[in-house]
Amino acid sequence: MGKVTGAIVFSLWAGAAWAEPVTIAALGDSLTQGYGLPVEQGFVPQLEAWLEDAGHDVDIINAGVSGDTTQGGLSRMAWTLTPEVDAMIVTLGGNDLLRGIDPEVSRANLEGIVQAANDAGVEVLVVGMEAPGNYGPDYKQAFDAMYPDIAQSFDTLYAESFFAGLGGPDTAPSDVQNFMQPDGIHPNAEGVARIVEGLAPSVQALIARVE
């Protein structure tokens, strides 16, 4: 093979390698999994479609498990972080809240998740959430703070709330009722679309880190 031909072949090979999609694992609970919705209307398919419409070549793995806690997410890291995964979105903690788990336990689990991603060379977007006031101010302060603290400690990207696209924690429940399923916890398809709109810029920043 001549030098010119070899250079052309190498150039084509390099271009093909660069053209591989960015693979993102979406680690979470029922909000990520798409509870109560047809598959194509869930969070992962809608986010993937939004990003592709914006010109990104992505493959998002749905690693959401309904009912999962931060401990469950940590226990799944070994098979979530497969070799093709370039980045990970972490949306966990809601079920810890429902069970009243000590925020220090949740923090340790989330730190374990992010550390495992770091060890695998995987970029991370930590998605936060806020505790309700009924657990008391100390619980709320400890829970709310763990997400930005972890993001800062591990130098990951951080999105303040999964529900930012619906207006955030200060929005009146009546204002988002039309975007929720009857249980009042999980978004309907239109709600997911708004959530994706709010979160997608952070995911774009995650893709930029990979590239």
Q: Hey, what amino acid is at 88?
A: M
Contact between 203 and 24 under an 8 Å Cβ cutoff? The reply is yes
Minimum mean pLDDT range among 40-49, 179-188, 198-207: 179-188
Helices (H), 54-188: 70-75, 77-80, 94-99, 103-119, 137-154, 173-176
pLDDT higher than 60, residue 8: no
Structure tokens at 49: 């479609």
Please identify every residue annotated as catalytic: 30, 183, 186
Question: pLDDT, tens digit, for every residue of 96-114?
Answer: 999 999 999 999 999 999 9
Question: Both tokens of residue 129?
Answer: 């959430």
| C-alpha distance from residue 58 to each of 41, 54, 150 (Å) | 18, 11, 26
Evaluate whether 176 touches 191 at the Cβ level (below 8 Å): yes
